[in-house]
Amino acid sequence: MTHSGFVALAGRPNVGKSTLVNHLVGEKVAIVSDKPQTTRRAIRGVATGDDWQLVLVDLPGVQRPRDPLTARMQARMQYELSESDAALFVLNGEQGVGPGDRFIAAAIREVGLPTVTAVNKADRLRRRGMVEALSAAGELDVQGEIFPISARTGEGVEDLQSALIELMPQGPFLYPPEERTDLPENVRLAELVREQVLARTRQELPHAAEVEIDELIERDEDGLLTVVARIWAETDSQKRILVGAGGRMVRDIGTAARIEIEALTGRRVHLDLNVRVRRGWRQDEALLDRLGID
Ligand code: GDP
Ligand code: MG
């Protein structure tokens, strides 16, 4: 008899939710950075064992809606929590518990979901710091077990995974066992480009940039994959930064993203990348639809 179900990841931005999903799935399905709003789309990562399957829903971080983009992200998180079989509440052990964590704890209590709490970034903490972080996590009064883990090194993740599997209802697999994510390929590739943009930009640019794949062309003779992609910026000055002196920035982004895309697809890749301005793309509901942000 198999056990399977949906696990919604809840936690403030930057606590390590996406890193944890990737570790559990064993493949990079969600991009990671130290910038806010890295995760804009609800991404499902699928981890499958002999008789269990966890569908991990990596949600955008919780925040007050400021524009149609953040309003969609917020509505999505409430919807996913209500539709899931369990919540995986992730805290940053290095930072301790704050008002944002208490807000999310209250949301989880309200939905009444079975929950497992992870106190992450154990690799950055001494024993005493972790003991304090675990006790602060306990005071949040969310039901279920609490695990110290490092999503980066994998320490503690196996025990956490077993606890999640125990919370899953009996039932057939929800995805084919070999599937790792439900993201369409073009969105997955666009995210790999955006990850490199995030790694190289600061301040408002990480929020302002988005990536769209225009074309994917597979050549039959030698299997070369040509990816035509554009980076959207909101202003001309942002575009200048993204292009860089002599085109250096966009070239560096392209080189790094190409290596990631080659690793993911197992193909030789030509990445044709350019930067365009689209004022107010965050307000453009049609574009948000096309970019898969719903
Ligand atoms: P999210 O916003 O909750 O999805 O967080 P991310 O997974 O994007 O991670 C945010 C930052 O924390 C990234 O720079 C990660 O590399 C880092 N990070 C995540 N997990 C760990 C961990 O266990 N240890 C350390 N040292 N850093 C981590
Ligand atoms: Mg994330």
Q: Are residues 31 and 129 in the same domain?
A: yes
Q: What residues pair up with 226 in beta bridges, in sequence order?
A: 217, 270
Higher-confidence position of 67 and 222: 222
pLDDT value of residue 51: 97
pLDDT band at 146 (very low <50, low <70, confident <90, very high): very high
**Which of the given ranges, 35-49, 56-70, 172-186, has the highest pLDDT on average?**
172-186
- 267: domain CATH number? 3.30.300.20
pLDDT value of residue 61: 64
Q: Are residues 101 and 20 in the same domain?
A: yes
**Does 38 fall in a domain?**
yes
- Please name which of 33, 19, 12 lies closest in space to residue 206, comparing C-alpha atoms: 33
**Does 172 fall in a domain?**
no
Q: Are residues 154 and 196 in the same domain?
A: no
Q: Which helix (H) or strand (E) holds 205?
A: helix 205-208
Percentage above 70 pLDDT, the chain: 97
pLDDT value of residue 38: 85
Question: What's the 222 CA to ligand 2 centre distance in angstroms?
Answer: 36
Residue nearest to ligand 1 atom 8, measured at CA: 32
Q: Tens of pLDDT along 85-108?
A: 999 999 999 998 998 898 888 888
pLDDT higher than 90, residue 137: yes
Residue range 1-24: mean pLDDT, rounded: 94
Give the separation between CA 286 and CA 281, rounded to whole angstroms.
9
pTM: 0.89
Question: What's the 61 CA to ligand 2 centre distance in angstroms?
Answer: 7
* Number of structural domains found in the chain: 2
Q: Are residues 161 and 190 in the same domain?
A: no
The domain of 266 spans 185-290
What's the gap between Cα 181 and its chain centre?
11
Whether 19 lines ligand 1, by a CB cut-off of 6 Å, is yes
Q: Which sign does the torsion angle of CA 13, 18, 19, 20 carry?
A: positive
Q: Are residues 203 and 273 in the same domain?
A: yes
pLDDT band at 63 (very low <50, low <70, confident <90, very high): low
